[in-house]
Amino acid sequence: MSRNRSGPSGTRLTLQRAGWKQSVALRWLLLLLFVFLFYFSMASRFVPETYDITLGAKSERDIKAPHQITDEKATLEAQEKAAESISPIYSIVALRNETLLDQIFSRIEQLNQDDQITEADKVDIYRREIPDLVNRYLDSFVQANTGTQTYSSTLLEEMKKVTSEQLYRVPEETFYKLPKLTPEQIADMKTVGRDVVRQLTRESLTEAETGRTKVAELVNASSLSLKTEREAVQELARLVILPNKFYDKQATEEAKVEAKQNTPPVVIKQGDVVVKAGQAITQDIYDRLVALELLKERTTYWPQLGVLLLSVLFTLAIYGYGAMTEPTDVSRELTNVQWLMLLLIFGLNTLMMHLVAFTHSEQWPFIGYLAPVALGSMLVTLLLDMHLGLVSAFLFTMLASVVLNVRQDNLFDFHYGIVAAAVSFTAVLAIHRASQRSAILKAGIMVSLFGSVTVLAIGLIAEEPDRIQLVQSVGFMFASGLLTAVLVIGLMPFFELTFGLLSDLKLVELSNPNHPLLRKLLTETPGTYHHSLMVGNLSEAAAESVGANGLLCRVGSFYHDVGKTKRPMYFIENQNGGANPHDKLEPKVSASIIIAHARDGADMLKAHKLPKPIRDIAEQHHGTTFLKFFYYKAVKQAKDQGVECEYTEDDFRYPGPKAQSKEAAIVGIADCVEAAVRSLNHPTVEQIEGIIGKIIKDRLDDNQFNECDLTLRELDRIAVSLKETVIGTFHSRIEYPDEKDFKPKEKLS
C-alpha cells in the first residue's frame, strides 16, 4: 500500500516549514532591524561622533568637523582687525573764510569813518573786536549747521576745538596801522585779501600754519604798493585762514562698523581638521570642540532620541501598510520572507546613497544626484506591490534628503528631497505594469528624464544659476536613471532566486510558448497543451475574483500537467478517439500511472529550474484526491472473481501534498472543471453550475482546502467566476432553454 504523504506527519512538517514565515517573534525582530537601519542611516548626519578630550591633553587622532559652523571668536578677531585697519577719516568743512575777512574790513571801514572816536580808542577797539569777530563767526557757523545733514555734531565740535587751538594772534603794531587806512586803501586791501584767502583755503588744511606761511608771498605779488597796506593785509589774512579739514569721529566709527559688517565670518567647514593628532588642546580648540558638540562630557541625548523616534515612525509607515491595509485578506499580508527581502532592499538602497554621498567633494558638489534613489522603489514595486512601492518611495525621499545632505545647514536638503520624490514616484508609476525586462530600461529612461527636468527647474530657480554646475547636476541625474535600470535588471534574478519570489516579469517570460517544456507539451501532448491553456483562462479569472495572483495561476496552469509528457497516451485528451491503454491494465497500475504525472511534472520543472511556486502548483493541484473510477473498477474486478479487494481507498489517492496556497487550489478546481465540461457534448447552463458546484463541494468535503486559506465566501466567488468564464469559452456548445419556455402561456377564454 502506498503511503499517504498528506497524513499527520506530512501536515506537521508543512506547518513547521511555514511557521517561521508567519512567526510573530521573527516579525518583530525584522521590524526592530528596520528601526536600526533607519537609525544608523540618519544618525551619522544628525548625531555627530563625540570624543573623550580634556583641556591641556593631546589628541590621539585627527578630529574633523562633522558639520559647518561659524568660529565666533575668530570672527570677532577678524572684525576687530578690520576695524583697526580703518584710518581716521577727515572731513572738509567749508568755512567761507573770505566772508569773515569781509566782516573785518567792514568793521574797520565803519570805525575809521567815525571822527568822534580817537585813534587810541580805535586801536583798543580793534585789539578787542577783531579776534572776537572770528569767534563769533565760528559760533554762528556751528549754530547754523547744527541739526543739519551737512555736518555731524561731533565734526562741528571738533572744528570749533581745532580752530580755537589754532587761532592766529595779530601782532600789536597791526592794530596801530588800521586807524590810518583810508576807504580807498581798505577797498584795495579787501580785494587782495579776499583773493589770497580764497586761493589758500581752496586746499585742504589740517594745520592753518601751512596756509599762513604762503600769505606774504601772495600779498607781495599783488597790486598793493604801500608797505603798510601789505603788512596789514598779511596779518588779517593770516587771522582768517583757519584749518578746514578735521577728524570726523562719527564717520570713522561708521566706517569701522561697516568694515566689521563686511568682514566675512570665519567658517569651520565640514571635514576641516579641527585638531591634529598629537596637538595639545588649548582653550580656543576646546571651545571649538564644544561649539561642534564633539565632547562626550557635554553630550546630550536629545538628538539620538529624535532620530530614534523618526526611525520608529518610518518603520510604522511600512508596517501600517504591510500588515494593516487589508486585514480581512490574509493573502495580502506580508510573510517574514517578504519582510526580510524588503529589509534587504531598504538596506541596499540606503547603502548606495551613502556610497555616493561619501564621494562628495568640492570638485563634484552635486554628485549626490548620481545616487540611484529610485532603485528601492522600483524593486519593491516589481517584487511586492505597487502601493507598498509608493510608501517606500516616500520613505526613500526622506532618507535621500538626509543622507545626501552634505551642506548640513538644514536637517533636510530640499534639493535632493524633491528630486528623490520625483524619481521615486516616477519609477513606481512607470514600472508597476511591466511585462518585459525591457520595460525596466524604459522606466530608467523615464526616471532620467523626469529627474533631469526637476534638477533643471531647481537650478533655474536660483538667482544666478551657475551654468557649469547646472550641466553637471543634470548629467549626474540622467546617469542616475540609467544606473538604476542596470542595477534593477541585475538584482531582479538575485531576489527571485534567493527568496523564491515570482515577479510578473518572470511569469510573463515563463509563459512564452518557446520555453522548452511548453514546446515539448505542444509537440508531444497537443491535447494536454490545449487543456492547459483552457485551465489557464479559467484559473486566472477565478484567482482575480478573490484577490489571488491571477498571472501565477495562468502560468502555473500552463505547466501543471507537464508530467503527462512521460506517458502521453495514458491520458484521454491525447488519445484522439483511439484505443485506451487502460482497458488492458490493472486498475492499480492505471492509477499509479495517472497519479505519477503530478510528481513527474514537479521533478521535470525542478530539473528545468522553474521557480518553486510553479512546481508547487504542478505537485499540489490534485492534492490527495481520490481516483474513484479505478478504485471502483478494482472492486468490481475482485467481486467478479469472487474475492475481496486487496486495496483501500488510500491506495487510489494522490500523494499530495494538499494545496498550500490559493493559487494551487484554484488551478486544481479549474483543472477538474475544464475536464468535466469538455466531456459533455452540449452542456447547459444548469449542468455547468451543477458540475462546478459538485467539484468544489467534493473537494471541500474531502478536506482538500484545509491547508490553504480559501474561505467559503471565496469559494462561492470562484464558482461564479468559473461559470462565467466557461460560458464565455464554450459558448457555441452550451444549450440554452428554448425561447418559447420564457413566453407566458395564453389565457384560456
| CA separation for the pair 612, 18 (Å, rounded) | 14
Nearest to 328 by CA among 719, 717, 711: 711
| CA separation for the pair 212, 238 (Å, rounded) | 5
| CA separation for the pair 334, 387 (Å, rounded) | 13
Q: Which residue has the higher pLDDT, 500 or 746?
A: 500
Percent of the chain with pLDDT over 70: 90
Is residue 130's pLDDT more than 70? yes
Q: Which residue has the higher pLDDT, 46 or 395?
A: 395
| CA separation for the pair 255, 251 (Å, rounded) | 6
| CA separation for the pair 40, 47 (Å, rounded) | 10
What is the tens place of the pLDDT at every residue in 682-696? 788 888 999 999 999
Query: What is the pLDDT, as a whole number, of residue 300?
Result: 66
Is residue 2's pLDDT more than 60? no
Is residue 483's pLDDT more than 90? yes
Residue range 507-519: average pLDDT?
A: 90
pTM for the predicted model, two decimal places = 0.62
| CA separation for the pair 729, 43 (Å, rounded) | 60
Query: What is the pLDDT, as a whole number, of residue 304?
Result: 83
Is residue 739's pLDDT more than 70? no
Nearest to 414 by CA among 375, 461, 449: 461
* Helices 374-383 and 467-499, axial angle in degrees (round to 10): 30
Q: CB–CB of 104/130 below 8 Å?
A: yes
Is residue 608's pLDDT more than 60? yes
Nine cell digits for residue 352: 548606495
What element of type H or E holds 317? helix 302-324
List Cβ neighbours of 513 (8 Å cut-off, separation of 6 or more): 519, 522
List Cβ neighbours of 10 (8 Å cut-off, separation of 6 or more): 4, 656, 657
Q: For the range 709-718, what are the long-range contacts, defined as Cβ-Cβ under 8 Å and sequence gap of 24 or more?
A: 709/330, 709/331, 709/662, 710/546, 710/662, 710/665, 714/546, 714/662, 717/542, 717/545, 717/546, 718/542, 718/545, 718/546, 718/666, 718/669
What are the φ/ψ torsions at residue 328 (nearest 5 degrees)?
A: -85, -10
Is residue 484's pLDDT more than 80? yes
Query: What is the pLDDT, as a whole number, of residue 591?
Result: 87
- Decide: helix, strand or coil at residue 245: strand
Is residue 475's pLDDT more than 80? yes
What is the tens place of the pLDDT at every residue in 292-331? 766 766 566 777 888 999 999 999 988 887 665 443 333 4
What is the tens place of the pLDDT at every residue in 139-181? 999 998 888 888 888 888 989 999 889 899 999 898 888 898 8
> What residue type is 416 in one-letter code?
Y
Helix, strand, coil shares of the chain, percent, nearest 5, are 70, 5, 30
Nearest to 380 by CA among 391, 369, 370: 391
Percent of the chain with pLDDT over 90: 38
What is the tens place of the pLDDT at every residue in 336-390? 888 999 999 999 999 999 999 888 877 788 888 999 999 999 999 988 888 889 9
How many residues can be counted in the chain?
Answer: 749
| CA separation for the pair 655, 658 (Å, rounded) | 9
Query: What is the pLDDT, as a whole number, of residue 747?
Result: 35
For the chain, the average pLDDT equals 85
Q: CB–CB of 211/205 below 8 Å?
A: yes
Q: Which domains does the chain have, with CATH numbers?
A: 8-45+300-501 (no CATH), 90-247 (no CATH), 506-740 (1.10.3210)
| CA separation for the pair 654, 656 (Å, rounded) | 5
Band (734; pLDDT cuts 50, 70, 90): low
Band (609; pLDDT cuts 50, 70, 90): confident
| CA separation for the pair 632, 577 (Å, rounded) | 24
What is the tens place of the pLDDT at every residue in 39-97? 998 887 777 666 677 777 787 778 777 767 788 888 888 889 998 998 999 989 988 88
Query: What is the pLDDT, as a whole number, of residue 477?
Result: 94
Q: What DSSP line would sit under 461-502, residue for residue?
A: HSSS--HHHHHHHHHHHHHHHHHHHHHHHHHHHHHHHHHT--
Query: What is the pLDDT, as a whole number, of residue 5?
Result: 35
Nine cell digits for residue 315: 518603520
Band (435; pLDDT cuts 50, 70, 90): low
Query: What is the pLDDT, as a whole number, of residue 330?
Result: 37
Query: What is the pLDDT, as a whole number, of residue 11?
Result: 38
> What residue type is 738 in one-letter code?
D
Query: What is the pLDDT, as a whole number, of residue 222?
Result: 85
